[in-house]
Amino acid sequence: MKSLIILSILTLIGSCAETKYTTKIENLQNGVLITDSLLIEKYSKTITAEELKTNLYAFASENFQGRGVGEEGRKKHLLF
């Protein structure tokens, strides 16, 4: 019984400590300021799905060796 109470308390504390998903989405939306939607539309038409796929696979490849702080891969990602 004692362990059940302790487990319940820890679960309650853990659930309260985590930011809600909807709050995270709202924070992201509030953090993006679109000043020129026509410019965004113009540049969104300049990349093809195949080019995006190629760049994404290159960016996620093992050649970049991770992105941890101080790692070589982080520097490569910045230059990509």
| Segments making up each domain of the chain, as ranges | 2-79
Whether 34 contacts 40, CB under 8 Å: yes
Instruction: Look at residue 51 in the predicted model and tell me its pLDDT.
Output: 92
* Largest interatomic CA distance in the chain: 63
Note the pLDDT tens digit of each residue in 38-66: 988 888 889 889 998 998 888 888 877 76
pLDDT of residue 16: 63
Do 49 and 57 touch, CB atoms closer than 8 A? no
